[in-house]
Amino acid sequence: MPKAWSENCIAGIDWLLGFMKRHPSLSIRKPEKTSLARATSFNKNNVMMFFDLYEKALKKFPVSSDRIFNVDETGVSTVLDPPNVVAQKGTKQVGQCVSAERGPMITIVMTVSATGQVVPPVFIFPRARLSDSLMVGAPIGSLGLVNSPTSAWINSNLFVKVLEHIKKTTRCTIDDKIILLMDNHESHCSFEVVKYAKDNGIVLVTFPPHTTHRLQPLDVGVLGPFKSKVKIAQNDWMTNNPGKTLKIQDLPNLVKEPFQLSFNLRNITSAFSKTGLWPFSRLVFTDDDFAPSYVTDRPEPEENNQQHLELNISIEECLPSTSAQTTIPGTPITSQSTLENNTQLISPEDVRPYPKAGPRIEQKRGRKKGRARILTETPEKNIIEKETEERQKKKQPNKTVKKKTLSNPPKKSTTKRALFDLCSSSDESNEYLKLQTSDEEMSGDITFGDFVLVKYSGPKSVKYYVGCVDDVDQNHYEISFLKRTLGDTFIYPDIQDTDNVAKADIEMVLPKPTATGNTERSCSVLTFPKISFGKYNMG
């Protein structure tokens, strides 16, 4: 035993260097971070169920390899981790200039086929409207989309436009379908997406949750090299533009070269082959690949009613029965015939089982757990449609702000305006007519589209609100209320605020509103000419 072992009671660096020298096949690697959800979800049962589903899709829709596609999104920020550099030994700190501490991000949607065909990427920007300057230098045929000024994330409406872009490139039809493999992101599984895909010959197949790091070709062999080359491209850009800050409009041109180098035939076809998607093979994954999920092995869901096996198995239960043989446990067996007849072998796991995770607690809250499925099949499509309708019904009461309606006599002086037309340049007169207190006369004055001032009387005060008439039902009106901003300007709120109002609670009909400007944003800010709301206690 080395002297250092006796002094320190542990093996030192000299032993590690010697061990690595004696085993040249080993190397020190930095492991990739893998979440517990991914480690446990990638198990043999989930993978085999997905391959069964994928095989069913291939048999039901026999397509060639050039009609099998994989789509996925990735984010690219103006600030990425710098690549590895060469530095002097002994240097305590090595720095690299970047644009900022944190930068804005865009989303890039990539689509590839099993034969190496690449669909031009789709860029999603955090903007209210798309400017031509955002797409300068982008790969040929790329599509630019916008979400909102604060978000570049993809949603179901944007993914429908992505499918339109894929359809235009692949020219798929009902008679010439394509199979599109993707993850279970909520934007991919909406009813609008499924309906468009089914109507245009796109068969949507989803991977099991938390398994895309091993099953999705883009994640396995394409997006990794792409991200590495983007880091190098950003580093080169900072070198060529000293003192400048990388902006969002520079990213499409910046990722063009990494995109062309990474999305090549070799990387794409190798990724499809490694995942067993094309050529189709169930044998690409071995038991060693499923080993991380061993810690959470549990019975199948349909077997939950059976008694769960005890994890700690005693040694006596693992040993052969003494009635079958007279050998005392722990005594060496010398008879060859006895060894051959002993069909029960004892492994170290039987003596001391490996640690196991406890049963998972079922949580009723949160979104529904995803699964691998063919979304465009009629049963799945009907389920998604039904779930969408139920969600809309549940959300409707939450969006409606119910106000207390009291019957108060209206004032004699009221007003009327023409039907509202957003950003209209009409020069119609803003003068308005007086409403009479008679119910018969008032019912003919207030119509759909009128803007009105509604009064709500409380125990201690009276509040006034501006709204638009959405529906008329005899002596009651459905009003969609506006939100007051600065001064006497109003906008439509993000969450619809509606209420049923009696005719007697309408203080006046307002004149036709006008927009404060000609831009898209200022068109949504409304003002009412010749009306001063200062004398009203506005809510």
How is 169-223 classified by DSSP, letter by letter? HH---SSS-EEEEE---GGGSSHHHHHHHHHTTEEEEEPPTT-HHHH-HHHHHTH
Overall residue count recorded for the chain in this entry: 539
Q: Is 38 exposed, middle or buried (0-12, 13-18, 19+ CB in 10 A)?
A: middle
Region class of 449: left (phi > 0), else alpha (psi between -120 and 50), else beta: left
The pLDDT of residue 359 is 66
Give the CA count within 13 Å in the CB-facing half-sphere of 84. Answer: 2
Backbone angles phi, psi at 111, to 5 degrees: -140, 130
The pLDDT of residue 515 is 83
Amino acid at 118: V
Claim to verify: residue 42 and residue 143 sit in the same structural domain? yes
Asked if residue 399 belongs to a domain, the reply is: no
| Residue at which a domain ends, from 279, 296, 313 | 296
Asked if residue 340 belongs to a domain, the reply is: no
Claim to verify: residue 221 and residue 262 sit in the same structural domain? yes
The pLDDT of residue 331 is 45
Claim to verify: residue 205 and residue 267 sit in the same structural domain? yes
- Cα–Cα distance for residue pair 275/212, rounded to 1 Å: 10
Asked if residue 539 belongs to a domain, the reply is: no
Looking up residue 244, the CATH number of its domain turns out to be: 3.30.420.10
- Cα–Cα distance for residue pair 442/416, rounded to 1 Å: 11
| Residue at which a domain ends, from 296, 322, 349 | 296
Claim to verify: residue 20 and residue 151 sit in the same structural domain? no
Place of tokens 């069913």: 56
Q: Is 500 exposed, middle or buried (0-12, 13-18, 19+ CB in 10 A)?
A: middle
Asked if residue 458 belongs to a domain, the reply is: yes
- Cα–Cα distance for residue pair 334/533, rounded to 1 Å: 104
SS3 479: strand
- Cα–Cα distance for residue pair 390/401, rounded to 1 Å: 20
Amino acid at 476: H
Claim to verify: residue 26 and residue 107 sit in the same structural domain? no
Claim to verify: residue 20 and residue 150 sit in the same structural domain? no
- Give the full edge-to-edge strand order of the sheet including 476-481: 498-502, 476-481, 462-473, 451-457, 506-509
Claim to verify: residue 13 and residue 131 sit in the same structural domain? no
Place of tokens 């872009």: 165
The pLDDT of residue 336 is 52
Claim to verify: residue 47 and residue 13 sit in the same structural domain? no
Domain count within the chain = 3
Q: Which residues of 89-115 are buried (b: 16+ CB within 10 A; e: fewer)?
A: eeeeeeeeebbeeebbbbbbbbbbbbe
Claim to verify: residue 1 and residue 69 sit in the same structural domain? no
Angle at 495 between CA 491 and CA 497, to 5 degrees: 75
Give the CA count within 13 Å in the CB-facing half-sphere of 290. Answer: 14
Could you tell me the two tokens for 56?
Answer: 């069913």
Claim to verify: residue 2 and residue 72 sit in the same structural domain? no
- Cα–Cα distance for residue pair 404/401, rounded to 1 Å: 10
Could you tell me the two tokens for 173?
Answer: 């039809």
- Cα–Cα distance for residue pair 504/358, rounded to 1 Å: 64
Claim to verify: residue 21 and residue 125 sit in the same structural domain? no
The answer to whether 156 and 187 are in contact (CB under 8 A) is yes
Positions in the chain short of pLDDT 70: 1, 297-344, 358-367, 396-444, 520
The answer to whether 250 and 237 are in contact (CB under 8 A) is yes
Angle at 512 between CA 506 and CA 517, to 5 degrees: 130
SS3 100: coil
Amino acid at 348: P
The pLDDT of residue 439 is 37
| Residue at which a domain ends, from 296, 324, 345 | 296
Tell me the pLDDT tens digit for each residue of 182-236. 999 999 999 999 999 999 999 999 999 999 999 999 999 999 999 999 999 998 9
Asked if residue 48 belongs to a domain, the reply is: yes
Structural domain of 10: 1-30
Asked if residue 78 belongs to a domain, the reply is: yes
- Cα–Cα distance for residue pair 415/433, rounded to 1 Å: 5
Q: Which residues of 145-157 are buried (b: 16+ CB within 10 A; e: fewer)?
A: bbbeeeebbbebe
Q: Does pTM top 0.75 for this prediction?
A: no
The pLDDT of residue 356 is 73
Reported as type and span, the H/E element at residue 60 is: helix 44-60
Ranges of H-type helices in 418-474: 439-443
Asked if residue 326 belongs to a domain, the reply is: no
Claim to verify: residue 163 and residue 258 sit in the same structural domain? yes
Q: Is the preceding peptide bond at 329 cis, omega within 30 degrees of 0?
A: no
Asked if residue 108 belongs to a domain, the reply is: yes
